[in-house]
Structures are given as structure tokens and as C-alpha cells.
Amino acid sequence: MDWIIGAVCASMVAGAAYAKKSLTLSGCLAAIMMGTIYYGAGNLFWFGTLLLFFITSTLLSRFRKDRKQELEKSYAKSGNRDAGQVMANGGMGMFLCLGYWIFPHPAWGYAFIGVMATVTSDTWATEIGSLSRKPPRSVLTWKVLTPGASGGVSLLGTFAAAVGGALIGAGTFFFSWIAGVEGLGLLSWIFVGLAGGLAGAFADSYLGATVQMMYRCTVCGREVEVHEHCGHPTVRARGWAWMSNDLVNVLSSVIGGCVAIGLGNILAL
């Protein structure tokens, strides 16, 4: 029955997102599969946290969208998420959920919260940070960068990342309570989400500034993540050819998950 409930709920949410053009068709199908597993193999602790990330991130992507349209042209992924982005953001959590289903242990849950806090913090930092009146600075050299540049951080974006991670932690406590899952207290969960989210978000910025594959627009000269900008093909600027934006998201999620496991185990003592 849990698998059926998961499939129905996931289909409703993903279908609505597809109708609003927040998901492509492939993204919609991936979200249905993912949501079904999150609830079927897990419970509200897993499914609710995923839903919290998805709803808040979707709403933020639409917040002051007119001011962010130009910057979105530089990103490999925009608010209209495809299957690749859906899996990059929630795929790791899905495998952690399956791991918990096969071999229940609190570490799976800690890692999951670190992963979800990371993708939430990173998304919030991008969506809110792009509205900052002050230009971002390089996470490596602290030099001023053009808005939207990979590897850039701002005070507003960092604050948004912290709030996003803390929200995931608070939501975790709430969903655990409803599902009857024993775990950490409210403040402990908030701290795990906050620390894991910030660690993962800064790891994402670091990887974006060092090894992520980036391109340069031959018209405006801006460094971007896409193969075409200003109506013309871009040229390779730096980074490893295989280090895509999705892979950077996965690796930063691993880091956020590891931080959360360590903190979760310490706070559970």
C-alpha cells in the first residue's frame, strides 16, 4: 500500500510541476519514480523532506524571475528541470532510502539530510544570491566576479544557503515526529541540516571555481556553463571535460552527507 500511496502522491506533485513547466517530461517521469521509492521504501521522513526541497526550490526559481532571466542563460540548468537535474538533486537520496529499506541504520538518515540540505542550500544560494545588489566574489581568491559566475559567493547567497539547510533540518524533525521515527531533537536536526548544507554548498562553489567544465561566450566574453550564449556557440574556457554541473552537484552532496553523518553520530551520543 505504501508503494501505491507513494506513486499516487508523486504523480500528483510531478504532474502539477509538469503542467507549470517546472519539470520537463523526462523530469516529470524521473520525479514520479523517485517519489514512489521515497515513500514506498521509506516513509514521510524521506518523502516529506524531498517534497520540502522541491516545493521551496520551485517557488524560489519563480521569485523575481524577470530579474534572473539573463543570468539563467549562463546556467547549464534552469528552473525547468529535466531528468538529469532531478536525479542529480534527488537520486543520491533515493539510493540512501533504498539502503535504509534493506539495512535500517540511523546513518542512512543522517546522510540523507546532509544530501538534501546541500541541494537545498545550493539552490537557495543561487536563486536568492543572484538578486544581491553587490557582485559575488571568488570562493578561491575573493576577487569580484560577474553575477552568475561559477565559484562565486555572496553574503546574501550564503545567508540563503544557511536558511535553506536549517529549514531542511527543521522539516526533518517535523516529518520524523509525524512518521513516528525516533531520532535527534529539533535543534540537533537544524544544526545537522545547517552544517551539512553549508559544507555542501561551499564545496559546490569550490568545485565550480576549480574543476567544473566551463565555456566562454565569444560575443560577450562571459564564462558560462552552456554550449551556446548570445546566439553563438561557446568555446572551452577551463575545467575537466567530464566534470559537468550535474556531477559537481553529486560530489558536493557527498560532502554534505558525510558532514551530516559525522555530526549526527556525535549528537546522538
| Dihedral angle over CA of 168, 118, 83, 39, nearest 10 | -40
Checking if the pLDDT of 76 tops 70, the result is: no
Selection from 147, 156, 99, 88 nearest residue 128 by Cα: 156
Q: What is the pTM of this model?
A: 0.90
- pLDDT band (50, 70, 90) for residue 72: low
Q: Is 208 helix (H, G, I), strand (E, B) or coil?
A: helix
Report strand pairing: 137-138 vs 228-229.
Answer: unpaired
Q: Which residue has the higher pLDDT, 121 or 70?
A: 121
Checking if the pLDDT of 19 tops 80, the result is: yes
Averaged pLDDT, 253-262: 96
DSSP conformation letters of 50-84: HHHHHHHHHHHHHTTHHHHHHHHTTSSS-SSB-HH
Q: Which residue has the higher pLDDT, 134 or 81?
A: 134
* Rounded Cα distance, 48 and 248, in Å: 25
* Rounded Cα distance, 261 and 255, in Å: 10
pLDDT digits (tens, 9 = 90+) for 111-140: 999 999 999 999 999 889 888 888 889 888
Mean predicted lDDT score pLDDT of the chain? 88
What pLDDT is recorded for position 217? 86
> Which stretches within the chain are classed as H helix?
2-19, 25-37, 44-62, 65-72, 83-102, 106-129, 155-179, 186-210, 245-267
| Highest-scoring range by mean pLDDT, 15-19, 69-73, 96-100 | 96-100
